[in-house]
Amino acid sequence: MTENRAVAYKGTGVVEVVDTPYPTFELKDGPGVNPANVGRKVPHGAILRTVATNICGSDQHMVRGRTTAPEGLILGHEITGEVVEVGPGVEFIKVGDIVSVPFNIACGRCRNCKEGKTGICLNVNPDRPGSAYGYVDMGGWVGGQAEFVLVPYADWNLLKFPDRDQALDKILDLTMLSDIFPTGFHGAYTAGVGPGSTVYIAGAGPVGLAAAVGAQLLGAAAVIVGDLNEDRLAQARSFGCETVDISTGDPKDQIEQILGFPEVDAAVDAVGFEARGHGADSAHEAPATVLNSLFDVTAAGGALGIPGLYVTGDPGGVDEAAQQGSLSLRLGLGWAKSLSFTTGQCPVMKYNRQLMMAILHDKVQIAKAVKATPISLEDAPRGYAEFDQGAAQKYVLNPNGYITTS
């Protein structure tokens, strides 16, 4: 039997690289696996040898102990791989294909999938619509920070790259198609960004930087990124963004200094539920701060894209309401300004092929924008620790040596 190694959550602040079973075309019991999914057959699936798999800020929420994730959960939902086995129900995907895996698991058969709402598939998670690899309360599909991983509904879910050599040459860009590039782009797109727009993006982590790249691709005239971390703000400036340091005060004042007026056409929340306050309050967690700030700085009739993660259970929340995902929002302000906003998982398949073409034809350099940094699978604990400390890098795990580094 082929062996497998993977990154596991072992308790608050701790990840380890462990031996784990090689995938099969049947779901087995294990940490986080929904009991209703145990024994589920996957003849429509494919087994991948992982080419690249990334550490995501959403993973960090679990590792910090801010979710109900069980110890032993195999992490990782940003996956690019080479197909090494296919189930008997797979018709079009072939062994040897290099593919991107959307982090949303979708069946392609339910009403939501047929309407393009692949982030809220009805058939893959017995508890609620929507699923993902290696994530708490998402059905228990095993994560992809591993040497090998199972992908269900392969013909539907997998995006095949047209040329193997070209794909491997651009792998640090293409690996961002599994999540953060479509997610950031989705944030900008649902905020209504278009030619000539002014945009404010809260958060200069990888998703925020991807949203900034997406806004530029959509034709924004000015992209402003706010954060507390100077290294991450410098990364945003490296590809033409304006920046505001929210530790110095209200972003509205700094936006006015940049644009000449204190509002933008569109705004993106790339922070989520672990947001901090602004100015003197920036040392303290204040989970509603970002959304209320965006209500304030977005012009009447504008829109907010909210790819930042919000959860229904947060053991480390600042109060009882936050622990249940309840936030005190200035909805009256949003209503008075006729603001619209879009939340939830990005439906990756809505965007990933077009963004792939933009990468392959050199229209964007997403890996450079997010400072993609390849490390070995065994080095994952260091990557998690440094990312948690605010490193302005996107760590890309290289479990099987496909990524060459100079």
Phi and psi at 291, nearest 5°, equal -60, -45
pLDDT tens digit sequence for 60-81 = 989 998 888 999 999 999 999 9
Q: Is the pLDDT of residue 240 over 80?
A: yes
> H or E stretch including 71?
none
Q: Which domain holds residue 75?
A: 5-179+347-397
Helices then strands, each counted (H, E), the chain: 15, 15
Q: Let me know whether 290 and 331 are in one domain.
A: yes
CA–CA gap between residue 348 and residue 195 (Å, rounded): 23
Query: Which tokens sit at 51?
Result: 């080419």
Which of 194, 394, 192 shows the shortest CA–CA distance to 302? 192
**Mean predicted lDDT score pLDDT of the chain:** 94
Q: Let me know whether 174 and 25 are in one domain.
A: yes
Evaluate whether residue 171 is within a structural domain.
yes
Report the length, in residues, of the chain: 406
Span 143-154, average pLDDT: 98
Q: What percent of the chain has pLDDT over 70?
A: 99
Evaluate whether residue 57 is within a structural domain.
yes
Evaluate whether residue 50 is within a structural domain.
yes
- Domain boundary, last residue among 326, 342, 358: 342
Q: Let me know whether 334 and 211 are in one domain.
A: yes
- Domain boundary, last residue among 297, 314, 342: 342
pTM to 2 decimals?
0.95
Q: Is the pLDDT of residue 111 over 80?
A: yes
Span 45-62, average pLDDT: 95
Q: Let me know whether 336 and 217 are in one domain.
A: yes
pLDDT at 276: 82
Evaluate whether residue 81 is within a structural domain.
yes
Q: Let me know whether 76 and 140 are in one domain.
A: yes
Q: Is the pLDDT of residue 98 over 90?
A: yes
pLDDT at 278: 87
- Domain boundary, last residue among 342, 367, 388: 342
Q: Let me know whether 28 and 93 are in one domain.
A: yes
Q: Let me know whether 300 and 363 are in one domain.
A: no
Total structural domains within the chain: 2
Evaluate whether residue 323 is within a structural domain.
yes
Evaluate whether residue 37 is within a structural domain.
yes
Q: Let me know whether 299 and 392 are in one domain.
A: no
Q: What is the largest CA-CA distance in the chain?
A: 65
Q: Let me know whether 106 and 195 are in one domain.
A: no
Evaluate whether residue 67 is within a structural domain.
yes
For 334, other C-beta atoms within 10 Å of its C-beta total 19
Structure-model confidence comparison of residues 327 and 391, the more confident one: 391
Q: Is 207 within 8 Å of 227 (Cβ atoms)?
A: no
CATH no. for residue 300?
3.40.50.720
CA–CA gap between residue 145 and residue 180 (Å, rounded): 16
SS3 251: helix
Phi and psi at 367, nearest 5°, equal -60, -40
CA–CA gap between residue 161 and residue 172 (Å, rounded): 14
Evaluate whether residue 405 is within a structural domain.
no
Q: Let me know whether 333 and 187 are in one domain.
A: yes
Span 340-344, average pLDDT: 94
pLDDT tens digit sequence for 344-395 = 999 999 999 999 999 999 999 999 999 999 999 999 999 999 999 999 999 9
Query: Which tokens sit at 381?
Result: 């604990």
pLDDT at 406: 58
CATH no. for residue 94?
3.90.180.10
Q: Let me know whether 173 and 184 are in one domain.
A: no
Q: Let me know whether 231 and 361 are in one domain.
A: no
pLDDT tens digit sequence for 250-294 = 899 999 999 999 999 999 999 988 888 888 777 777 888 999 999
Q: Is the pLDDT of residue 101 over 80?
A: yes
Q: Is the pLDDT of residue 17 over 80?
A: yes
